[in-house]
Amino acid sequence: MRPVYFIADAHLGIEGAALEKAKERDLLGLLAHLKGRASLLYLAGDIFDFWFEYRRVRPTAHAAVLNALSELVGSGTAVRFLGGNHDYWAGSQFEEMTGATVHQTPISDTHFGRHTFVAHGDGLPPGDWGYKVLKAILRNPAAIAGFRLIPPATGASIARRASGVSEITEERIRAATPPMKSFLKSKLAEGYDLAVVGHIHKQMLWRYGDGTAVVIGDWMKHRSVVELTEDRLRLLSWVDGALREESPAPTA
């Protein structure tokens, strides 16, 4: 069976023109590369820095990526999109435009005999109650309905100003890692063989007995990719038009 791939945190639409062009070019290269090679691609959240669907207005940004995803699905690769804290509001329009399946809650599935948990990761580790309250508010149907009353251009402007992705620092990554590590370990204790998240923007892996916990890394800066096959799990990055294996990741 063909491999399963995971990417996260591209934050398309947040950077300057040159950086956006390079990020999109590389993502299009990966999507083309996966045709005929991947059985499934997980888009594990924050692929877009902002995505919101209005009932009477179809998204017009990121057309090349949306078309490439549609072509990938047409080639026989399933695509599963998990909303992150920046693009949770993807739904039926995204599905119609790409052929992907949108999930708004973590996914539980089995791949190559491994019971697998996949999520974006925001608001799941212990603590950070302020964010969890904000997350509940922003995902409340009443709040979503209210946001739809704002003109799309104004809503996008508000989202850009609110985006904190530019503030991701090594210090923030270090602070976020222990609680995420604890959360992933708890999922393995529940009986999962593999637990996979994004959100932290750094590729990491830990092994606990027969279980494996993985943070995908980010596409925004590091072009991180995780590959799962019948025999192994590999941490990769997209470099100069090809997938390259990363150095050994930290282990518990």
Domains of the chain, earliest start first: 4-245 (3.60.21.10)
- The token pair that represents 241 in the structure block: 């038009």
More confident site: 138 or 237: 237
- The token pair that represents 24 in the structure block: 């999109």
Contact status, residue 5 vs residue 42, Cβ threshold 8 Å = yes
- For range 73-77, the mean pLDDT: 97
Q: Is the pLDDT of residue 1 over 80?
A: yes
Other C-beta atoms within 10 Å of 240: how many? 7
Q: Which residue has the tokens 């027969």?
A: 210
Whole-angstrom distance, CA of residue 215 vs CA of residue 206: 9
Confidence of residue 131 (pLDDT cuts 50, 70, 90): low
Q: Look at residue 5 in the predicted model and tell me its pLDDT.
A: 98
User: Could you tell me the pTM of the whole model?
Assistant: 0.87
What percent of the chain is predicted at pLDDT more than 70? 79
Which one of 82-91, 116-125, 222-231 scores highest in mean pLDDT?
222-231
Contact status, residue 76 vs residue 36, Cβ threshold 8 Å = yes
Exposure b/e, 57-71, CB count within 10 A at least 16 = b: eebeebeebbebbbe
Residues 5-14: tens digit of each pLDDT = 999 999 998 8
- Which residues have a Cβ under 8 Å from the Cβ of 80 and sit 6 or more positions away? 40, 41, 42, 43, 100, 101, 103, 107, 118
Q: Is residue 234 helix, strand or coil?
A: strand
**Beta strands across the sheet bearing 114-119:** 107-111, 114-119, 194-197, 211-215, 204-208
First and final C-alpha spacing in the chain: 30
Q: Is the pLDDT of residue 249 over 60?
A: no
Residues 38-49: tens digit of each pLDDT = 999 999 989 998
- The token pair that represents 113 in the structure block: 């005999």
Residues 148-167: tens digit of each pLDDT = 656 666 556 555 655 555 56
Confidence of residue 51 (pLDDT cuts 50, 70, 90): confident
Q: Look at residue 81 in the predicted model and tell me its pLDDT.
A: 96
Kindly write down the DSSP assignment for every residue of 55-88, as one continuous string.
SS----TTHHHHHHHHHHHHTT-EEEEE--TTTT
Q: Look at residue 112 in the predicted model and tell me its pLDDT.
A: 97
Q: Look at residue 155 in the predicted model and tell me its pLDDT.
A: 57
Does an H or E element contain 251, and which?
none
Contact status, residue 86 vs residue 50, Cβ threshold 8 Å = yes
- The token pair that represents 44 in the structure block: 């594990």
Contact status, residue 45 vs residue 199, Cβ threshold 8 Å = yes
Q: Is the pLDDT of residue 75 over 90?
A: yes
Q: E strands along the chain, which residues?
A: 4-7, 40-43, 78-82, 101-103, 107-111, 114-119, 194-197, 204-208, 211-215, 224-228, 233-239, 242-245
